[in-house]
Amino acid sequence: MSSQGNRSDSITIIEPTSAWEFPDFRELKAYRDLFAFLVWRDIKVLYAQTILGFAWAVLNPAVQIIVFSIIFGRVAKIPTDGIPYVLFSTVAIIPWAYMSEAMRASSQSLVSGQNMLGKVYFPRMIFPITPVLAKLVDFSISLLLIAAVMVYYQVPPTWNLLYLPFLVALMMIVPTGIGLWLSSLAIRYRDVKFAMPFVIRMLIYSAPILYTASSIPEQYRMLYSLNPIVAVIEGYRACLLGLPMPWEFIIPGTVTAVLLLVFGAMYFNRMERVFVDVI
């Protein structure tokens, strides 16, 4: 701290951390203008110079729903506990599409923003969180598809909709936690970029998106419930279709998601000191 007359200038010393410390999220608030700018930038460039624009937010999941409904609903005849397969898959594919796209973008966020990393200081955690927020625009638009399918099948809203804000928050925590881990690894290991398509393909079969959770054998359900994606998908089905809330999946999955977020933030904070050196 130095002073000259009535003027005082504060100097902030930035030092790397060497231990597993929890990051100071107050920095994100201090840099909220930059945060908002990056989110808005991602939203604007998402469908820039496209003819259909934000209609792609509905078309992309709609194509998946049609394909899965034909292959798994009509041909394979996967049981859905009495729910029409189009409705069954729609309420699962929409949140899955958000999580998969947010994970993919978040994992490559530091590599994509490498031109900014070495020029000026700001909380690097802004990068992996930005896609998670920007993709909410697509998710919000694609909710129209869920509403249309529910109206077609005459599914009335229930009091379970009160759980929707919690499920949206859980849906955001999952890609944020995974994105913090993978974006930190992607700085050193560019294999993450090439591995992500395979990881996402595997994850779609690890959760009850194409099949019901009730088809999992009883002896494996406790282990299965630790998958946070299971909690999101089963929670959305119960919330939107008025089914009993599957707390046996939601509670363990939420614990896993929170642990992913906490330890992902600590690992990101630990690795932040080498980002500029190895980028």
Residue 43 — φ and ψ, nearest 5°?
-65, -45
Whether 24 shows a pLDDT value over 70: the answer reads no
SS percent in the chain: helix, strand, coil, step 5: 70, 0, 25
How does DSSP assign 8-34, residue by residue? Answer: EE--PPP----S-----THHHHHTHHH
Q: Residue 275 and residue 279: Cα distance in Å, rounded? A: 6
pLDDT band of 149, cuts 50, 70, 90: very high
Highest mean pLDDT (candidates 32-41, 77-86, 163-172, 195-204): 163-172
Closest to 104 in 3D by CA, of 26, 178, 48: 178
Dump pLDDT digits (tens) for 48-82.
666 666 777 778 888 888 888 888 888 888 888 88
**Which pLDDT belongs to residue 48?**
67
Lowest mean pLDDT among 103-107, 111-115, 184-188, 190-194: 111-115
If pLDDT is split at 50, 70 and 90, which confidence band does 170 have? very high
Q: From the CB of residue 131, how many other CB atoms can be counted at a distance below 10 Å? A: 27
> Please, is 218 exposed, middle or buried when counting C-beta atoms within 10 Å of its C-beta (0-12, 13-18, 19+)?
exposed
Q: What average pLDDT does range 192-196 have in this prediction?
A: 84
User: pTM of this prediction?
Assistant: 0.86
Name, in order, each residue with C-beta under 8 angstroms of 171's C-beta and a sequence gap of 6 or more. Answer: 95, 98, 99, 232
Q: How many residues does the chain have?
A: 279
What is the structure's pLDDT at 2? 41
The structure tokens 């409705």 sit at 87
